Amino acid sequence: MRSIRFGVLLLLAVFSVYFLLEKGDFLAERPGEYASTGLIQREYKLEPKEVPEKRSSIPLEGDTYQWMNKTTNQLEEKWGEPFRKDPSAYGYEWWVYTDEQDRYIQFGIDDNQVKSVYALGKDLSIEPAEIGQAYDAVKKEFSFSNEVIYNKDFSSYTFRLTDEALQERPLIKVTDDIFLQLYFDTFTDKLSAVRMLSADILLLHRPYEIQYRGKLTNKPDFSEEQWTQIEQGAQQHIFHISNVIRSQHDKSALVWDEAVSEVAYLHSRDMAKNNYFSHYGQDGGGLKERLAAKDVFYQAAGENIAAQYPDAMAAIHGWLNSEGHREALLKDEFTHLGVGVHRFYYTQNFLQKP
In tens, the pLDDT along 23-81 reads 233 332 222 333 333 333 445 444 444 434 343 457 788 899 999 999 999 999 999 99
Q: In this model, does residue 17 exceed pLDDT 60? A: no
Q: Which residues contact 175 (CB under 8 A, 6 or more apart)?
A: 56, 57, 58
CA distance 193 to 234: 17
Among 181, 211, 207, which residue's Cα sits nearest to residue 193?
181
- What is the biggest distance separating any 2 CA atoms in the chain, rounded to whole angstroms? 67
Three-state DSSP state, 22: strand
Count CB-CB contacts under 10 A for residue 354: 6
Q: In this model, does residue 18 exceed pLDDT 90? A: no
Give, as one character, the DSSP assignment of residue 200: H
Q: What are the residue ranges of helices labelled H in the chain?
A: 72-79, 135-141, 163-168, 199-205, 224-248, 258-274, 287-293, 312-320, 323-329
Give, as one character, the DSSP assignment of residue 9: E
CA distance 162 to 91: 28
CA distance 341 to 346: 5
pLDDT of the residue at 57: 59
CA distance 128 to 185: 18
| Summary mean pLDDT of the chain | 86
pTM to 2 decimal places? 0.85
In tens, the pLDDT along 306-321 reads 999 999 999 999 999 9
* Residue 320 identity (one-letter amino acid): L
CB 181 within 8 A of CB 199: no
Residue 143 pLDDT grade (very low, low, confident, very high; cuts 50, 70, 90)? confident
Residue 15 pLDDT grade (very low, low, confident, very high; cuts 50, 70, 90)? very low
Q: 247 — phi, psi (to 5°)?
A: -65, -40
In tens, the pLDDT along 225-235 reads 999 999 999 99
